[in-house]
Each structure stands twice: as C-alpha cells, then as structure tokens.
Structure 1
Amino acid sequence: MKAISYRHYGGPDVLEYGEVRDPKVGPDQVLVKVRAAAVNPVDWKCREGHLDAVLDAVFPVIPGWDVSGVVVRPGAAVTEFAAGDEVIGYCREDFLSRGTFAEYVAAPVRTLARKPRTLSFEEAAGLPLAGLTAYQVLVGALEVGRGETLLVHAAAGGVGSLAVQIAAHLGARVIGTASESNHAYVRGLGGEPVTYGEGLAGRVRGLAPQGVDAVFDTVGGDTLKTSANLLAPEGRLASIADPEVVGYGGRYCFVRPDPEDLAELVRLAEAGVVSVHVQESFPLERTADAHRLNQEGRTRGKIVVTVDRESEEGAAGAAG
C-alpha cells in the first residue's frame, strides 16, 4: 500500500511517500480504508523525536493518529464493527510505527467510533484527537459547569475551537484568545475573543474583573503565569502544552483514546453542537507540506490529508 513514512527523526524532509507492507490485522484490531487523516502538532513533535523518552519508535514509522474511513475487515475478536461501516478514530498505540497517513490502517477497536453522519470524511478526521483533548480536559480535569467563566487559549486552533464549542454547550461563558483576524470566527463558535500578546491580562480582566473560574491552556510558557494570575479564588488551571503547569497548582493533561468519549463527540456533532473547520486539505503525497503548515502554529481549525480511493482490486488484496 501507499503511505507516508520516515526512517529516522528529523524535519519534514524525512517524510517519504511510497510503498510499505500492508498492515496485519490482529484479533482486537479493525482494518480501515483511510479516507482522511488530520494533522496534529504531536505528529511533527513525534517526527522530530520529542516524544522519544516515552514512545519507542519502530522504524520506518508511519505517522498520524487521527483517521476517518471505512471498515474493510474487523479482527477475529471484534464485534462492534462490520465491513462497510464508516468510522473515526484516535489510533494511538504506546509506540510509533503504524499510523494513519496511509491507504490502510489496522486500528485498535478501543480507538474507534462510528463516523458522524453530519460531517464529511475530511471534517470527521479532525474530530478525534482534538475533540477528545477538549472534552477530557473540560469534563474531567477542569469540570467546567454552567454559569462559570472559562478562558481558552488559542481559541481558533484545532483543540481550542472545539473547546469553545463544548464549553458553551456545557453552559459556560467562554473567553478565547485569538488573533484579530480570527475574532469573528471565535464569536461564531460561541466565545468572546480577546487578542493575545502584551496586555492580555488587562483585556481579560476587563471582561472578567473577578477573575475566571478555569483556564484551558494550549500554549504553555509565559502564558501559564499569566493564566494563574487571572484565576478567581478556587479557580482551576489545566495545560496540554506544558507540564510546568503543576508548579502553578494546575494539571497537565495528555489525551487518551476512549470509545465512550469519542461516541459522545459523535453525538454532539450530529446534534449540531460541534463542528470542525478544515483550513486546508492536502493529498497524501504532500503530507510534508501539511506538516510544515501545521508547524507554523497559525492554523484555524484543522489541516487534513486526504487519501484517494483505491481500485477494487487493491482493496480486495488488502482485505484478503
């Protein structure tokens, strides 16, 4: 099958497009014909070796954890899905090797849910990792409730945009940092935009003089200190970008695959509560360009890689 892979850590230029062996399908896995795979910051961080201390890399590595596609064949122990089902998944394992930037992926069944009927394959590919991150931080770590005020950093980004929508659905008032060009977008999501950068604390205080009840940090660094100083008494702080948040009394959060949480996101998508904005879509062979764009850090919504349909002969061969 065709796939993107890398044989050693490095920049976008280490990504190669070409033939790799078809995936084997274990008893608890599902062979999925990939229609689209979203790009996330963790993809280039893995590619550059930043997660080498916690994730073994079995080279060549096929990158990518987000997927939307069609089930070709379930593994012997899988009863949840059948051939032809449209699915999405956050297909993370505890090592790097068998990712989603490929024509097929053997996805652990625990990472999958049915694709939202209301989203295209490209939109649906952007939901799992970012949506699970937003949902698990808001509901689990921060326990955001009705009537509370939440500050979301980088509110126009992949995780931030979904966090704004989910928090608004939970009944919270949402203030979101964003560039001026993204203010209308953040308002459309249900948030109150403020420009990030120098003077941010004053601008947030102007909207929430008593402080905010919770902060969802996606940036890290100096933003953590600013965020801690903006909290109301008993306020909560969580970061997905910087473990130093613990030093400010907050929680560091790393998303995990959860089929029940993913199914809830599907329900919210089908109810019109959350949507996924695709900024740009690239063909599989241009995955390196998609990585470069994502690494610039100015994405509105998601960047997606699309995978063309194979011939029936190719699909039959992979299913055999």
Structure 2
Amino acid sequence: MEKRMRAVVIDRTGGPDVLRIADVPVPEPAAGEVLIRVACAGVNPADWKCREGYLSHFMQYSFPFVIGFDVSGVVAAVGSGVQGFAPGERVFAQTEVGAGKWGSYAEYVAVSQDSVVPMPDNLGFADAAAVPTPALAAWTGLFDEGGLRSGQTVLVHGGAGAVGTFAVQLANATGATVAATCSAARRDELMALGCEQAIDYRGGEIAAAMRAWAPAGADLVLDAVGGGTLPEGMDLLKSGGILVAILTLVSGDYGPDPAEAARRGVRAALAFSKMPSGTRLREIAALLGAGRVRPPRIECLPLEEAGRALDLVQSGQAASKLVLRITEPRDF
C-alpha cells in the first residue's frame, strides 16, 4: 500500500492563497538519497519567493510542489549506494528545492546524501532546522566569496537577521574583527555574539560610524539585506576590499556592480555556493557542537500555520527565526 503524508503544497506559483495542506505520497529515496522523517522545517525568505515563482529562473516546478529549504529529523530509510547513515539517526540538511525537488514542509523529504549531516548532540530539532540556509549563506559570503581571514575587519549589514547572526559568529570564530548594523534594540545581543561595534542603521550614520571604527576601511562588507539598503557599501571598503551581497531575488535587485567596484579600486561579488551544501554544513555543525556558534533565537509554529509564518517573514514582522514543527519529538 502506498504510504501517504501531510505536506504544504502549491499547485501554481503566487501569493498566500496558493498554499494548501495536502495528502500526498511519501517520496521513495532514489539511489544516493536519504529519506528523512521531518521533525522541523526552517522558514526562510527563499520559501515565500519559491511560492511566488522568483526561483523559476533557476528551477522547474512540478506541481503539486512541496516548498521548504531547511529540515531536521531522523533517517527513515536510505536509497541504494548510501553509506554512513542509519535509520533513526538525527540529521539536518538543506533540501534540493532549488533543483526542483520536493522540500521540507512535509512529514518526509528525500535529500541527496551529500547534503545530509548528523545533528550535533547539543542541538534540538527546532534549533537545527533554523541553521542550514542562513548559515550556509553567511559562510559562502564570508569565506567562499569574501575570502575572510583572521585579523581582517568585516562589516555585516543586517547583523540581527538569521544570516547576519551566523555571519557575525562565523567571522568572530575565524579571528576577524566584526562590526554589524542593527536596530538599537538588538545592539546588546550582537555585542554578546562577538561584535566589536554595533551600528544603528536607523540613525543614517553608518558611513560616519565606520570611519570612526575602521578609518582605513573594512576588508569585507557582507550585505545580508540587499534591496539597495546600503548604497554607500563600496565607500566603506579599504583599497582592494570586497563587497559581497546576498541577493534578495526580488525584481530590480541585481547586487553591486563589479565594473563600478573596479573603478573604485575594490571588488564586488554575489554569494553563490559552488559545492554540495553538506560539505560546508559539516564544518558549521562542528562549530555548533563545540559551542563556538549558536543558532538564532527561534519561534516554533505548527505545520498548519505555514501560511502565517511565510506572511510574517515576507512582511518583516517576524521577531525571531521561525520554524515549523512537523512531528512532535515524542513521536520519534
């Protein structure tokens, strides 16, 4: 008999009205895949953008389609050729929604073994589900594109968001000196994560504050907000420095202009990962397990409130990192 599961699906791209809870088949793990029984699914801005069709330039939708990039849970089964994972093992992963495969807003999801990582013992399922996409974006921007090294200076624009929270901690863990923009209400929180300077973006004095903090300019500016919210980003760099932007994928946001950067004697790049997500997620997991990095503060909602969670993220009203609880831990 075919196994069935609950999932949040879309039958077409569009606004909140296209979401529905459906009864769909449990995916069968193909060769090289791990089937995860989902405990929690992280909610990311990329999820509502996926719902609305902003990812159609990168992927093909096959409807009904299950959204959701981030997952934590236990191994339910493995496909042929999979080694190193056993049923019942606690894992987390970034799904392959970007490749057109079903995502994590469901009771089960099949993910390539190269993207699945054992969960650190000190993390619960909700915390683990809050990690993959924002932490990987931060890592890619800081290290893969930005080349950040110990002793350098970095400004994280949007330090209080999920990506920014990880960026501040990862930069600090590698020995860089870190400044970040945030609201005044989040200043103490960021300072506790390792910021040397927290700049209130609402005051309109980012450039002046940066000149006082790093007169020669920063080695790296990571723009984790986008949308033209840091128009003077290149001015904050020292000669040869680099501005790395994490694209919002919304219309009109193309990131910094490399030609303009070259004219100014600096560099510009976009944060795109060039390797399987599990490779970097294992390194991040080691830092989490050692207590050198911790997840952002979270709020859990049931699967049935996926629509409300996406609305909160899209409108910017989410005060914490949102996570959907798909299966109660006692059920494992």
TM over 0.5: yes
Q: How far is 1:10 from its partner?
A: 1.4
Q: How far is 1:13 from its partner?
A: 2.5
CA distance in 2 between counterparts of 1:97 and 1:140 reads 25
Letter in 2 for 1:243: Y
Q: TM-score, normalised by structure 1?
A: 0.92
Say if 2:67 and 2:97, in contact at 8 Å, map to a contact too: no
CA distance in 2 between counterparts of 1:196 and 1:112 reads 37
* Corresponding residue for residue 186 of structure 2: 182
Which structure 2 segments of 5+ residues have no match? 248-252, 262-266
Say if 2:6 and 2:21, in contact at 8 Å, map to a contact too: yes
CA distance in 1 between counterparts of 2:86 and 2:99 reads 27
Q: Secondary structure at the match of 2:14?
A: coil
CA distance in 2 between counterparts of 1:120 and 1:166 reads 20
1:48-63 equivalences in 2 (<5 Å):
48-63=52-67
Q: How far is 1:206 from its partner?
A: 2.1
CA distance in 2 between counterparts of 1:87 and 1:107 reads 11
Alignment equivalent of 1:154, drawn from 149, 154, 158:
158
Superposed CA offset, 1:112-168 (max 9, x none): 110111111000111111111111221211111122110001101111100100100
Alignment equivalent of 1:291, drawn from 299, 310, 315:
310
2:123 matched to 1:119?
yes
Say if 2:68 and 2:97, in contact at 8 Å, map to a contact too: no
2:161 matched to 1:142?
no
1:238-317 equivalences in 2 (<5 Å):
238-241=244-247, 242-247=253-258, 248=261, 249-255=267-273, 257-297=276-316, 299=318, 302-309=321-328
CA distance in 2 between counterparts of 1:156 and 1:112 reads 27
2:171 matched to 1:167?
yes
| Number of matched pairs | 313
Say if 1:38 and 1:64, in contact at 8 Å, map to a contact too: yes
CA distance in 2 between counterparts of 1:271 and 1:8 reads 43
Say if 1:88 and 1:125, in contact at 8 Å, map to a contact too: yes
* Corresponding residue for residue 29 of structure 1: 33
Say if 1:3 and 1:101, in contact at 8 Å, map to a contact too: yes
CA distance in 1 between counterparts of 2:184 and 2:151 reads 26
2:23 matched to 1:12?
no
1:44-83 equivalences in 2 (<5 Å):
44-83=48-87
Say if 2:130 and 2:298, in contact at 8 Å, map to a contact too: no
CA distance in 2 between counterparts of 1:183 and 1:299 reads 18
CA distance in 2 between counterparts of 1:300 and 1:257 reads 31
CA distance in 2 between counterparts of 1:278 and 1:219 reads 19
2:105 matched to 1:89?
no
Q: TM-score, normalised by structure 2?
A: 0.89
Q: Secondary structure at the match of 1:222?
A: coil
* Corresponding residue for residue 210 of structure 1: 216
Distance 1:124 1:94, change over 3 A: closer
* Corresponding residue for residue 250 of structure 2: none
Say if 1:90 and 1:257, in contact at 8 Å, map to a contact too: no
2:210 matched to 1:222?
no
State the Cα RMSD in Å. Answer: 1.9
CA distance in 2 between counterparts of 1:30 and 1:65 reads 15
Superposed CA offset, 1:239-260 (max 9, x none): 1125332433301112453322
CA distance in 1 between counterparts of 2:329 and 2:63 reads 25
Letter in 2 for 1:276: P
Which structure 1 segments of 5+ residues have no match? 316-320
* Corresponding residue for residue 111 of structure 2: 107
Distance 1:94 1:180, change over 3 A: closer
Letter in 2 for 1:275: R
Q: How far is 1:20 from its partner?
A: 1.1
Say if 2:71 and 2:104, in contact at 8 Å, map to a contact too: yes
2:135 matched to 1:131?
yes
